[in-house]
Chains A and B, each alone.
Chain A
Amino acid sequence: MHIDIRYPIGAMFSLFGAILTIYGLTTSSSSIYARSLGFNINFWWGLVLLGFGVIMLALAWRGSPKQKTS
């Protein structure tokens, strides 16, 4: 069997999530959020991406022994 696609998906979204969350925290009082209707969209959506990435990684990690046997 090939590589488990959930690893790269999980890794990429965890990375994007971490980047956006940290960027959101460091720019929290910036005027750039006027355009996103006052939401610190980087921080909040970064958390969503991070959550999605971590869930994907967890699924891949949990599913990996089964992948080998099938």
Chain B
Amino acid sequence: MQSMQLSIVDYVILVSYFVFVLGIGWALRRHMKTSTDFFLSGRAIPAWITGLAFISANLGAQEVIGMGASGAKYGIMTSHFYWVGAIPAMVFVGIFMMPFYYGSKARSVPEYLKLRFDEKTRGLNAISFTVMTVFSSGVSMYALAKLFELLLGWNFHVSIIISGAIVLIYIFMGGLTSAIYTEVLQFFLIVLGFLPLVLLGLKDAGGWTGLQAKLAMVSSARGFGAGAWSDSWSYMSTPSANPMGVDMFGMVMGLGFVLSFGYWCTDFLVVQRAMAANSMSAARRTPLIAAIPKMFFPFLVILPGMIAIGLTYAGGSGGFALPMKEGGVYDYDLAIPMMLAHYFPSGMLGLGLTALMASFMSGMAGNVTAFNTVLTYDIYQSYVRPNQSDAHYLWMGRMATIFGIALSMAAAYVAAKFNNIMDLLQLVFAFVNAPLFATFLLGMFWKRTTGHAAFFGLLSGTGAAALHHGLTKPLGALTLIKGGWLGTIVHTYPSEMAQNFWTAIFAWTTCFLVTILISFLTAQKKSEGELKGLVYSLTPRIKEEGVPWYKSPAFLGVVVMLAVIILNILFW
């Protein structure tokens, strides 16, 4: 394997980046006077900044490394995670849901659930969310430390401590504003750090047509039709025709509807960025502005993976080849790091590694700021010590930040020790998340939905997900963590991804139906006055006054949807 040798210039760039993010926290420390400043940036951030932070916060380890890996493993079909699995949901949350999140003055997503439904629904969401964010930032940390150990020979513990300490310091000082500002910085760093890699790789592969020819070799070597790696939709009529093993219905419903809307519309990690915006109009524009760069991210993170696998099969000028894991399968996770090592000389290598570091840190900071807000407002203020002074909750926010980072570090070590526990936890989170969007959809658009219905609907959706997972398994699964742990196998899916999509579909449908049923059987405890601003039919229509037409959410939404349709057609 090609290892990396860093020279002084690379370290200068990396260290300067650390100085800049810490400097931003330092400059903001005097502005954190109230808990609203710390947790919601005083609701004073312009839309272009919250929009870029909206993408960056979601841009953790899974994005850069994982999407590059999927690009190599599945080809351009990975772009469905953007063009189907992100953009439509981002447009929906901006146009239809943000009026309730921002307008209700809820300070978090669980708090919205408390206002709309009841205490127990909030508690359920707050607790599962805090546990989940800590574990995802822990997994992110673990992945970073492992990667830098492998590539550069850095000590695993030192990487964990340094990355954790830096994120801790700047959030401790500047709260959400620090996180948002550094996320914008990280956004530009990621784009400008990876773009030259894509350009060099594409040049080496002979442009898009050259890459298509190389990917055709990959496709035929794996027994698929020629365009299976370079066409996003053409091979989706049956699961067996494409490397992902999914069909169009499972993709559009499972990923495009349930999973995508469940994440982008209900996950406080991203919604918090929009809540920090300086006006209702800016809050609604946040996800729409985010959608514009987001739709081009496949070219930045998926394309390098496709180039990596294409060159491995066909051979480029310098003989790039993906390394193998033990057992003779390609180590897809190394696609982007190996491309960096292959094409970047020292100097640019420092920039590329800094961009990689930035992507990990922005994801971790996103998790930590969402964690400290929910922990302080929805757990501490609600159940532990209510009716304290605002200064007390500001102090608690800082303590929650330390606590969150410490737990993330602990989770990183758990991930290092027991791989299975982490897989199991991620599976449980998937069960918890899958039905969420049904609850929000009914809560926001049907005033009859009751608190009991929301709570038991969520539980039944999670139960349905677990049951479906226990009764099915993907082809060739060896461990029970992949499914089938109930003993009887009712159905075998062609791939793990297809199974995941269908688990989500079952969970969502169950939650949706059970919530409706229980709503009819239970009494609505909230009066119409209480639900004003929380439910569509009881909220006055928003008039975007003083906002020019090109800044109106409806116009931006239409433009974004048209652009994404064009991208789908171009790469059909």
Shortest Cβ distance from A48 into B: residue: B192
A15-56 contact mask (Cβ, 8 Å, vs B): 1 or 0: 110011001100100101111110101100110110010000
Task: Compute how far the CA of A35 lies from the CA of B343 in the bound complex, rounded to whole angstroms.
Answer: 5
Q: Contact check, B184 vs A37: say whether CB atoms are below 8 A apart.
A: no
Interface pair B345/A36, CB less than 8 Å apart: yes
Q: Are A13 and B17 touching (Cβ within 8 A)?
A: no
Pairwise interchain contact A19-B44, C-beta atoms closer than 8 A: no
Assess whether B12 is in contact with A19, with CB atoms less than 8 Å apart: yes
Whether B17 contacts A12 by the Cβ 8 Å rule is: yes
Residue of B44, B184, B185, B192 near A2 (CB, 8 A) is B44
Give the interface centre of B23, B28, B41, B351 by most chain A CB atoms within 10 Å.
B351
Q: Is the CB of B317 within 8 A of A37?
A: yes
Chain B CB within 10 A, most for which of A1, A8, A13, A20: A8
Nearest to B45 among chain A residues (CB) is: A2
Known: A36-B200, A39-B200. A1 touches B347 (CB 8 A): no
B296 interface hit (Cβ, 8 Å):
no
A60 within 8 A of B: no
Chain B contacts for A23, CB-based, 8 A: 9, 347
Interface residues on A, range: 20 to 34
Complex Cα spacing A15 to B181, Å: 18
B196 and A45: CB pair below 8 A? yes
**Please, how many angstroms separate the alpha-carbon atoms of A49 and B23 in the complex?**
20
The verdict on B281 contacting chain A, using a C-beta distance below 8 Å, is: no
Count B-side interface residues using an 8 Å CB cutoff: 34
Residues of B within 8 A of A3 (CB): 24, 27-28, 181
A2 touches B28 (CB 8 A): yes
Contact mask for chain B residues 22-48; partner A; CB cutoff 8 A; 1 contact, 0 none = 011001100100000000010010000
A12-B185, A36-B343 given; A52·B31 CB < 8 A = no
With beta carbons under 8 angstroms apart, the residue of B13, B49, B185, B203 that contacts A19 is: B13
Query: Could you tell me if B192 and A41 are in contact, using CB atoms closer than 8 angstroms?
Result: no
**Within the complex, what minimum Cβ distance (angstroms) separates B399 from chain A?**
23
Within the complex, the shortest CB–CB distance from B221 to chain A, in Å, comes to: 26
Q: Among residues 365 to 389 in chain B, which have CB atoms less than 8 Å away from a CB atom of chain A?
A: none
The chain A residue with its CB closest to the CB of B53 is A5
Provide the residues of chain B in CB contact with A34, threshold 8 Å: 318
Q: Is the CB–CB distance between A8 and B185 below 8 Å?
A: yes
Give residues 180-212 of B contacting A (CB, 8 Å): 181, 184-185, 188, 192, 196, 200, 203-204
* Alpha-carbon distance between A49 and B317 when the two chains are bound, in angstroms: 27
CB contacts (< 8 Å) of A11 on chain B: these are: 20
Please give, as numbers and ranges, the residues of chain A lying within 8 Å of B13 by CB-CB distance: 16, 19
CB neighbours (8 Å) of B346 from chain A are 32
**Contacting B184 at CB < 8 Å: which of A9, A20, A39, A46?**
A9
Most buried by B among A2, A16, A41, A52: A2
Complex contact A41–B344 (CB within 8 A): yes
From A5, A13, A34, A48, residue with most partner B Cβ within 10 Å? A5
Q: Is the CB of A42 within 8 A of B24?
A: no
List residues of chain A with CB within 8 A of the CB of B177.
2
Known contacts A20-B351, A35-B345, A49 near B192 by CB under 8 Å: yes
CA A16 to CA B347, docked complex, whole Å:
9
Asked if B532 is an interface residue, CB under 8 A from chain A, the answer is: no
Tell whether B342 is near chain A: CB-to-CB under 8 Å: yes
**B27, B41, B348 interface centre (most CB from chain A within 10 Å):** B348
CA–CA, A8 and B185, complex, Å: 8
Interface centre among A1, A27, A37, A48 (most CB of B within 10 A): A37
25 contacting pairs across A/B (C-beta < 8 A)? A1-B44, A2-B28, A5-B24, A5-B49, A8-B27, A9-B185, A12-B16, A15-B16, A19-B9, A19-B12, A19-B16, A19-B347, A23-B9, A30-B345, A34-B318, A35-B345, A36-B200, A36-B343, A37-B343, A41-B345, A41-B347, A42-B345, A42-B347, A46-B347, A49-B192
Known: A35-B344, A52-B188. 17 other contacts (CB 8 A): A2-B177, A2-B181, A3-B24, A3-B27, A3-B28, A5-B49, A5-B181, A12-B17, A19-B347, A20-B348, A20-B351, A23-B347, A27-B347, A37-B203, A37-B317, A46-B347, A49-B351
Instruction: Return the 7 tightest CB-CB contacts between A and B, nearest first.
Output: A32-B345, A42-B347, A23-B347, A12-B20, A5-B181, A45-B196, A23-B9
